[in-house]
Structure 1
Amino acid sequence: MGTTRKDRDPPAGLRRRLFWSLFLSALIPAVLTLVGGSLVLRELVAQTGSVGPWAAVADSGRELLDLIRGSEASADVTAAAERHRQVLSESLRLSQIYAVVGERIIFLTPLAGLALLALVGGVAALATRRLASGLAAPAEELAEWIRKLGAGEPLPSSDGAGPRGEVAEFRTLRSGLRDAAERLEEAHLRELEQARARSWADMARRVAHEIKNPLMPMRMAAERVAGAQDPALAEAGTILLEEVHRLDELARAFSQFGRPVEGPAAAVDLRELLQGLGRRLGLDDALVLELPPEPVWVLGHVEALERVFRNLVSNALEAQAVPGTPRPAGRSAHRPAPGPPSTPEGADAPTTSWEDDGDPWNGDGQEPEPVRVRLVQAGNRARVVITDRGPGIDPAFLDRIWEPDFTTRRKGTGLGLPLVRQVVEHHGGRVSAGNRRDGGALFQVDLPRTGPPMGFDEGTP
């Protein structure tokens, strides 16, 4: 759907419309007040200050006084009539003056009103122009932002506070649009990631099905070759069996990718799970478990979570074996974990800091450090941190290691870490990776904590 010029620049005349709306809102009442006041003043002067009525009264008064003089009235009446004549003459004189002043007022008032109106109009024009500019500029900017938001274009970078004197509501709108743009971008990225994951999951299941079909006859043939009397044939058969086993593991990984964890969740003691994993791996010299003395419970699936930590530990052990990196020396396989970080109960501890606290095993630089698995309780989460002293992760690959089509190992499937992330997120947690400051990689898994199962006695060993 195309956009018209009006859609691209919707408030082009907003500044002009605001100016005339505000200016006329101030000017029209002033004009009406001036015209109405002039008419009322003219009528008032005409009714109270006209010379005509006073002249008629004076003429009738003079006739009355002349009659009194010509009659044989008493001296008192004649004196009173004379006083009345003087007062009447003075009133007539004042009426004439008032009439002249009234005429001047009637003539000059509109002129003064026009001058005042011009002054008020000028002030109103300046004020409305400034106000219109202050309203139109941010409105035009926000309209342009909305257009960019609808078109999927990035918004301008944040420049802190808005212009001086800007209406606070515009700052609120600008902040709201930035938040909306960020949420839309995050939703778009999540949608792309989910679509890619669904595509990979579908393809992985089809590939797994195609791989599994010929594996059984291949395995049987390889076993026969491996059992041959000829050493060369037996060696070739052994190699074939190893490759068949690798293909079987690949098919199993492909079939698991994108498949939700099955079965009901239950309370899982991560401390016991990691202890069992350490025993099954049988790597007392290469693996150090730092576990708290008490159980740490999460709600999840034991087998899926064990696969997560087995994968991460195996990756760390393989990284330790990279040529040129130190090999682990003899160590005690278990030691108490350090105390949990200072995080209030119910709060999430930071997950982006890869700084390592002091390590007495590696402080002198003489003996290399084995792979370490540390379990702590961080607020309302259980945190497992796995560190190694391998070459670390190329910073350019830190974001790509979670992609199902990415691997840096020659025999890697590229599905190990994506499966780890899938399972952890299914359990309501998050997994992240980084590099240690003094060398090696660090993987951190955060899972929501839960209470012990019903009937669990903490005093029972």
Structure 2
Amino acid sequence: MNEMRKRTVDKSGSSPQAGPGEKPSSVPPPSDAVHSDAVHSDALPERRRPARGGSLAPFRLRLFAMLILFALVPTVAVTLVGVGTANRALSMLSARSAWERIALSGEQALAAARTAPLTVDQRAAVERHDAELRQSVELARRFDFVAGRSMRLVVAGAVLVVLLVAVGASRVAGHLSRQLSRPLDELVGWTGLIRRGRPIPEQPERRGAPEFEVLRTGMRTMAQELDTGRRRALEAERAEAFRESARRFAHELKNPLTPIRFAVDRLRRSAPEELRETVEVLAEEAARLETMAKSFAQFGRLPDGPAADIDVPELVTRVARSTVPDRLTVHISADEPLPLVHGFHEPLVRAVTNVLMNAVDACGASGQIDIGLRLVAPYVTITIRDTGGGIAPEALARIFDPYVTTKPGGTGLGLAIARQTMEAHRGSIDAVSTVGVGTTISLRLPVPRRSTSTET
């Protein structure tokens, strides 16, 4: 028997020491198999992540350069085209050389005309023509001077425009590159935190493109869902490890119980009177071991078989009558009518029985147990409140863990079985307790949609 227990302890990671339907104690649960996933994930070699901003700095520079080029290339092209067009237009408008050639030929013609005999009117016309010719040549020279200076001003203005556009573009490009690279840097850092399973830090809302805020919200939601899935996976592995150890322990414990019961029955029939008390002690201990084996077997087995519609008030009333002793006062109140729930009858009976046994043990010699049955859509809620001593806050967080008990000789599986049953029915169980006042445990069972629609 000792070898069997030692073998069970080695496989499960801890020695089960508790009884069904108890509140918590400090008996630690098996940890080797339970936390294997967490240990495995922590032990994985972490890839070396580039320094913060190391991979995004080139991106910011490229983005800055692209924005600058996007602003400057069209500006420079338009400026060059404008300067070239202005240069060609001014060159076409400039007629200084033509006027000088006209003036030279005109002076020669006027000189020849002056040598010929002319009337007074003819000579006056020749002089007027000579004056207008000289004035036109002077105007052409002035226009050519102004055109040359204007071209310099056009080139200087074009250079100034390009410089102003470059300065403005650099400021705008720098602002935009920061606005785009900082959120990306932050989001890349978040991906590293998500990969390592760490929480995303809470940060105040930043100004910027609303699309980035939508992306931040989406990544936070994704991180929360991944964390929830990771915790559920760890919890499922932990529960499976507990169930496997419970099945093995129940199997190893049942093997010697059958011959022990037969031996005790034979001793009862043939033992002398002075050994009667000893035989009864053996019988009681054998019965206790059998109860313990049944508890472990129940915890190691999920509800199976066909499900059926269950009348919750009838089930709770029957369990309360068979579980709560006469020394305690029981008050049951229920909403009318309560819809039927769909589930497994015997596992639900065990779950409610375990919770009521906890309440009975908490009340001790006297006290009161209040049972409330309420419809809080989409659940039927069973609330069991006792007037016992309550549970300390540090112990309350562990009351649904397997192998946690305060009762000597118990298995610590009562509330663990209740939680397992609720989760198998897609329900939940929780506890609220005040030291010196009492404890309230709530079991929630989902109502089928057809029942909910009928009630509404």
TM-score (norm 1): 0.78
Q: Report the 3-state secondary structure (helix = DSSP H, G, I; strand = E; otherwise coil) of the residue aligned with 1:404.
A: coil
CA offsets per residue over residues 71-127 of structure 1, 9 Å max, x none? 899999998887766655544333222111110112232223323333332232223
Counterpart of 1:218 in structure 2 is 260
| 330, 339, 351: which one aligns with 1:287 | 330
| 1:22 equivalent in alignment to 2:82 | no
Tell me the secondary structure at the aligned position of residue 196 of structure 1: helix
State the distance in 1 between where 2:210 and 2:355 align.
51
1:189 corresponds in structure 2 to 231
1:99 to 138, 144, 160: 144
Q: Secondary structure at the match of 1:40?
A: helix
Q: Which residue of 1 aligns with 2:349?
A: 306
Q: Which residue number in structure 1 is paired with residue 203 of structure 2?
A: 159
Which letter does structure 2 place at the counterpart of 1:220? F
Are residue 327 (structure 1) and residue 371 (structure 2) matched? no
Please say if residues 332 and 372 of structure 2, whose CA atoms lie closer than 8 Å, have aligned partners that are also in contact. yes
Letter of the aligned partner of 2:341 in structure 1? V
Contact 2:324/2:356 (<8 A) preserved? no
Deviation readout 1:145-191 (Å, 9 max, x if unpaired):
212222333332x12312xx322222222222222222222222111
Distance 1:399 1:47 in 2: 94
CA distance in structure 1 between the partners assigned to 2:334 and 2:273 by the alignment: 48
Which of 198, 201, 204 is residue 246 of structure 2 equivalent to?
204
SS in 2 for 1:13: helix
How does 1:43-82 map onto structure 2 within 5 Å? Answer: 43-60=88-105
Q: Distance in 2 between matches of 1:136 and 1:211?
A: 64
Deviation (angstroms), 1:70: 7.8
Alpha-carbon distance change, 175 to 123 in structure 1, aligned in 2, over 3 angstroms: same
Tell whether 2:317 aligns with 1:317: no
User: Which letter maps to 1:159?
Assistant: Q
Q: CA offset at residue 32 of structure 1?
A: 2.8
CA distance 1:215–1:437, shift in 2 (3 Å)? closer
| Partner in structure 1 of residue 441 of structure 2 | 443
Structure 1: which amino acid aligns with 2:316?
A: L
Q: Per residue, is there more helix in 1 or in 2?
A: 2
Name the CA distance, whole Å, in 1 between partners of 2:113 and 2:435. Answer: 128
Partners of 2:386 and 2:120 in 1: how far apart? 138
Tell me which of the two structures has the higher relative contact order, counting C-alpha pairs closer than 8 angstroms and 6 or more residues apart: 2
What corresponds to 1:135 in structure 2? 180
- Structure 1: tracts of 5 or more residues without a match: 329-369
Which of residues 246, 254, 268 is equivalent to 2:296? 254
Give unpaired runs (5+ residues) of structure 2.
1-44
Q: What residue is the counterpart of 2:167 in the other structure?
A: 122
- SS of the residue corresponding to residue 57 of structure 2 reads coil
Q: Which residue pairs with 1:236 in the alignment?
A: 278
1:185-213 deviations in whole A, cap 9, x for unaligned?
22221111111211221221121111111
Q: CA deviation at 1:45?
A: 1.3
Percent same amino acid among aligned pairs?
32
Q: How far apart are residue 409 of structure 1 and its match?
A: 1.9
Deviations 1:361-389 (A, max 9, x none): xxxxxxxxx11111011122111100111
- Structure 1 residue 397: Cα displacement: 2.2
Deviation at 1:69, TM superposition (A): 7.5
Partner of residue 379, structure 2: 381
Taking structure 1 as reference, are residues 220 and 168 closer, same or farther at Cα in structure 2, changes over 3 Å only? Answer: same
- What TM-score, normalized by structure 2, do the two folds share? 0.79
Match of 1:404 in 2: 402
Aligned-residue offset at 1:238: 1.9
* Partner amino acid, structure 1, of 2:248: R
Conservation of the 8 A alpha-carbon contact between 1:204 and 1:254: yes
Shift of 1:68: 7.5
What is aligned with 2:339? 296
Does the aligned pair in 2 maintain the 1:376–1:383 contact within 8 Å?
yes
Q: Is the 8 A contact 1:226 1:235 kept in 2?
A: no
Instruction: Give the AA of the match of 1:277.
Output: V
Hey, what does 1:361 align to over in structure 2? none
2:193 is matched with: 148
Does structure 1 retain, via aligned residues, the 8 Å contact 2:324–2:357? no
Shift, 1:226, TM fit: 4.4
In the alignment, the residues of structure 1 paired with residue 195 and residue 156 of structure 2 have an alpha-carbon distance, to the nearest angstrom, of 56
Q: Which amino acid aligns with 1:138?
A: P
* 1:393 matched residue in structure 2: 391
- The one-letter code matched in structure 2 to 1:286 is T
Q: Tell me, in whole angstroms, the C-alpha distance in 2 between the residues paired with 1:191 and 1:231.
A: 58
